[in-house]
Structure 1
């Protein structure tokens, strides 16, 4: 399951992709393409499900994630953190988000109810042309047409029992213009735009803190109108474009009051709509095929997740009964070994297949490139800058790939294991989290992976068995002052959280507690090690494996 922040960030990335499509391809694509793309964005924003796909753009980052996401090492002799601290309560950020969501939802509901009160006074319309037109354009849902003196332009509301509401001051003798209006409003009904507007409003209420979602709300509403305009032109032919545009302009001066959940004929960027109408092209089988391919590509790339992502095992009832076993991807080692082919220290004619998976020379090369004397006293800002500059330098001899090779075969007993796995790994994720935050404009906290093991003894069929669980977890944290926080202080914070995870897992195994209890206890304990320089921001259990040993 995706968190709200993950949904919002992924949705923001997809919104940028749809905006790019809108800018570069809107002139020749059928406008219904934009409708489908915005609906895909809404699914990304409203559905917390992970949809695995090899075409996901996030799959490109998966290899780095696997490399940098090796579980951190819990060092011996570290002072443990007790999990008996009181519950810190609800985060103020959650309260702020909930307040914004409720206020915005109240606004939408208030506007809708205020509009519907006025619509109740509308009268059924008895007009021969309107009746005949609706007979020729029957829909599966019954459509009612009413007339009101409280609106200035036509609009549509209702999902299951849709209503076309026409203003009383229409020119009822202009049957051609009246046909345009009915065709436009019927298109809204056919496409279920009333439901679409409710979903757009729901997305905005949930993600009001994301500025790109506000952009999506405005553009999507505009594109719904463009799609219906296109439907009118397709029905009446390209020769009717000028007449339809004049009808649109004539109704603009009678603009309707704000009704964000209804579809109004003359609202939403008149100039852009008229321009789109006059430039509209005939929809062909080729354009439809291209549109479907584009929708499939964008949705497959931006609305999905990399295959093989771990799901949250919160549905398991207890840690002792957990049966999820995480599989190891053996292909990543092979990929990393092949990548070393371009390293600087390889001599011409060397056969890469003869090299061991991790040689002493590789190990020394990586350590010499990354280790800094007195690194524990350096600030996080300075250390992260230097380490990531070395890893990404063009002359470094594929240092990133070599680091992955060494990391995959590094023994925990190695004296530099904690530096390479914990210190360097955390700095890499902090650096890239900072870059993502700068470019996306959304808060991005670095992640750190860990493992905790807990055993207890049982007698099974007369034989003593030692059983337990291996819990793999991921926690996030926020560096509040990267210029004063030292690397040593950051590493001690990571050790304290991992120690808290170990302690809380042992307690939950003794209590036969579940994963949710372990996760909550870890949060409570880890929050106690936060200070003015670094703070714990959340955690999630990523996988659980049963462990058995017989005596």
Structure 2
């Protein structure tokens, strides 16, 4: 419910810009047909109700996601209004007040958003209850009425004419109405019916009930109610001729009655702004061709500029700043994964950017990250020793000196947050909480880009090792793809790599065991000479257990260097059998985007087969 509330708030803020534009244009288009103003309010209604919009460079909406979807989970909550001055003024206060503290059990932003969501729902309930009570009260009032003609009835209990009903609308007239006045009143109410205002006004009230917290929407509703009355007045004068201006204005005076213009129904003849309507009627002149044309052009421009969203600012690699960001992201990713063991291998990454959220001083990048560590010898060729494939979110600050960030020599960016989902049952929920709704499907799709990104990493590794063998160069850096993908960087491949002692599937110093189900891959690399191991239990996990090993009878015990986990295998001939009951818990993943079923990455009894040299 909180996600829906934030979506509604963002839609309301975006529509607010259009409301302001319409209010200004109403003043500039006083001589235009009043129906043009009603059409502009219809555009506001579309903006309020439509959850998505086409992207356009012509859009004048500063931001369609002022409150990011990860606002309640971010380490430093911030708004993205699209206006630098606003962001700079409010974000420091928001970040300091709502940043989660380690000792607190509840995130302040989550508490505030939840409370606001409850108030929002209560407000909607009050608005809809008011509409129901208003409807029932009016229904009771007109219950004692008599037919007059067609769909017109006379009633003693009412003081002003109006239309009542949505699907079967009826025109109600006061029993004592003057015969001459009834002619103009009936013409006005029939104009409402032809324009289907008995549908649009309740719909407008329903949108007001949803966006009741936005004062601009209240202003839009009141002005919309006035403009549909102006448009019908204008239609009557146009049809009956300018000679009826004075008697029509007299009918407005006679039939006016004080009533709330908040009600969703009915459409009352003397309901809204009678004085202004009388002035409009008496001053009415048929608008010229060019005024009508100008009003139509304005409506089209308004739709193009305010019913669209600003284009996504994801890096494309076409600019120097995009290339700088891609290079920085590559450095951050490599340093995130690099360990003491990485010095023995060539390390590279490839990242597929799904989207970005950008404000004046920070960029949040949502992406799929592929990381690999490779070795190579002439006998076995290229071998992946370790790796990870995981959805990742990186937030960086722009335009400040970098102090203590991953790229200390780059003054353009400073790392603010490096985020990965937790393993196991937390995995999907973490992604849904962190990624914007528009990107969640791609972030949960484990198969869409894995082959391409894995192939990109392998190609970079091959190019690197081939260049070392040929003597073409050993700088270890590959510029890679621009914009949407990261590139490979040497992580100190050992100087004696040509000896064949590192990176092989199995040598005198390492023994490799593989478990390869259809949906994942896992591997254990043992180094008997120094009693160490590396355990890759899933391609989807960023955690790479490494540590020391011990033998107890037919069991192999693996203890991680951080002391947090241990894994037990039973020797079965040349293979290893995983014993889940005697090991630290391993995560479960939802491997199919079409199913909610989760499977253990390495189930109990999984057989890790020893690889022969040359495999």
TM-score under structure 2 normalisation? 0.51
Check whether the contact 1:56–1:301 (CA below 8 A) recurs between aligned residues. Answer: yes
- Corresponding residue of 1:282: 286
Distance 1:162 1:475, change over 3 A: farther
- Greater share of strand: 2
* Distance in 1, Cα, partners of 2:187 & 2:293: 25
Q: Any unmatched runs of 5+ in structure 1?
A: 70-80, 132-143, 311-325, 334-356, 358-403, 419-424, 431-446, 458-462, 477-486, 524-537
The residue that corresponds to 1:53 in the other structure is 56
C-alpha separation between the residues in 2 aligned to 1:412 and 1:158?
60
Query: Is 1:40–2:63 an aligned residue pair?
Result: no
Cα distance per residue 1:473-527 (max 9 Å; x no partner): 8899xxxxxxxxxx99999xx999834x31xx2x35x55954x65223x49xxxx
SS at match of 1:305: coil
Distance 1:261 1:426, change over 3 A: closer
Q: Which runs of 5+ in 2 are unaligned?
A: 66-80, 88-100, 336-355, 373-382, 407-412, 459-615
1:518 to 403, 411, 431: 431
> How far apart, in 1, do the equivalents of 2:64 and 2:114 lie?
30
1:297 aligns with one of 301, 308, 321: 301
Aligned to 1:165: 172
Residues in 2 aligned to 1:268 and 1:29: alpha-carbon distance in whole angstroms? 20
CA distance in 1, matches of 2:221, 2:414: 44
Q: C-alpha offsets along residues 13-45 of structure 1, whole Å, 9 cap, x if unaligned?
A: 11100000111212x110000111101101111
Larger gyration radius, structure 1 or structure 2: 2
In structure 1, the partner of 2:235 is: 231
Evaluate the alpha carbon distance shift between residue 229 and residue 149 of structure 1 in structure 2; reply closer, same or farther with a 3 A threshold: same
* TM-score of the aligned structures, taking structure 1 as reference length: 0.57
The 5 Å alignment of 1:141-160 reads 144-160=151-167
Contact 1:475 1:539 in 2 (8 A): no
Cross-structure match for 2:496: none
The structure showing larger relative contact order (alpha-carbon pairs under 8 Å, at least 6 residues apart) is 1
Shift of 1:222: 0.7
Of 114, 117, 131 in structure 2, the residue corresponding to residue 94 of structure 1 is 117
SS at match of 2:173: strand
* TM alignment of 1:140-219, pairs within 5 A: 144-172=151-179, 174=180, 177-219=181-223
Aligned partners of 1:454 and 1:468 also within 8 Å: yes
Cα distance in structure 2, aligned partners of 1:240 and 1:97: 47
Paired with 1:86 and 1:215, the residues of 2 have a C-alpha distance of 37
Q: What is the SS of the residue equivalent to 2:163?
A: strand
Post-superposition shift, 1:299?
A: 1.6
Q: Alpha carbons of 1:450 and 1:55: their partners in 2 closer, same or farther (altered >3 Å)? A: closer
2:364 — aligned with what?
Answer: 449
The structure with more helix, counted as a fraction of residues: 1
1:117–1:298: structure 2 CA closer, same or farther, 3 Å change rule?
same
- Superimposed CA distance per residue, residues 125-184 of structure 1 (whole angstroms, 9 cap, x where no aligned partner): 14xxxx5xxxxxxxxxxxx11111111111012233221111101113x2xx32211111
